[in-house]
Amino acid sequence: MAFLDGVADAASRQFPAFLSGLGITIELLAVSTAVGLALAVPIALARLSTNPLLSVPATAYAYLFRGTPLLVQIFIIYYGLPQFDVVRTSAVWPLLRDPLPCALIAFSLNMAAYTGEVVRGGILAVPAGEREAASAVGMNRALALRRVILPRAFRIALPALSNEVVLQLKATSLASTVTLIDLTGVGRRLAAKTYTAEGLYVAGAVYIVLTFAIARGFRLLEARLDGARTR
């Protein structure tokens, strides 16, 4: 009981700080997921292309961001790029000198690499019969992609996409390494002040709740799509 009382006391005393950290965490997750999914489709299509001018850069991008730690990517964007004069004198410098845009860029590019592979797998898993049916009714490739292949691919890939979003939520905790005070940052700051771990326990509990909400939301979406498909 003393342990739970300590955690509850930490949560109540630092409620505004945790609420602010939660807002930053949700912002990082929502923006990076949206951007990552938007980039995932062209990356997946480029990876599947027979044109090496498209497939080679897309493959290199996927291997680069999936083959290096996200923490390294964050440090390169936030600490590494500003070392170049051409960056500090460019139009993107106002973004790269602040930690939030840098974290968003790193998370979004990393998310795009992973979800691009998920979408590519979903496209490859679309049954050949559905592709042939789209062709039989006179759809060209672009129309078939938009109306048949991509919607079906996303439904197939939905469980994997759910997992990627959960992993992205946990990855946002790395934002505290570049001075952003997200949930983990609040917990770490409180732990440093009190020499106890109650703040980290509170942050962990919030992550569990968010993970449950994301998983539940995706399950409801899967059920709704399955219901619409059977009508």
Copy the structure tokens of residue 154: 């996303």
Burial of 14 from C-beta contacts in 10 A (0-12 / 13-18 / 19+): buried
Confidence of residue 11 (pLDDT cuts 50, 70, 90): low
Confidence of residue 13 (pLDDT cuts 50, 70, 90): low
Copy the structure tokens of residue 23: 């807002």
1: helix, strand or coil? coil
Query: Which of 27-31, 33-37, 56-60, 224-228 comes out lowest in average pLDDT?
Result: 224-228
Cβ atoms of 59 and 220 closer than 8 Å: no
140-173 per-position pLDDT tens digit? 888 888 888 898 999 999 999 999 999 999 999 9
> Angle, nearest 10°, between helix axes 198-230 and 15-48?
40
Confidence of residue 9 (pLDDT cuts 50, 70, 90): low
How far from 161 is each of 33, 153, 168, CA to CA, in Å? 10, 11, 10
Closest among 154, 179, 216 to 78, alpha carbons compared: 179
Half-sphere exposure of 187 (CA within 13 A, CB side): 22
Residue where the block lists tokens 């079906």:
152
21-46 per-position pLDDT tens digit? 999 999 999 999 999 999 999 999 99
Domain span at residue 111 reads 2-230
Question: How many structural domains compose the chain?
Answer: 1
Give me the percent of the chain exceeding a pLDDT of 90: 54
**What is the pTM assigned to this prediction?**
0.89
- Residue 38 CB contacts under 8 Å (≥ 6 apart), including other chains: 112
CATH number at residue 100: 1.10.3720.10
Half-sphere exposure of 198 (CA within 13 A, CB side): 19
Residue 139 has pLDDT above 90, yes or no: no
Round the average pLDDT of the chain to a whole number and report it: 88
164-198 per-position pLDDT tens digit? 999 999 999 999 999 888 999 888 888 888 777 77
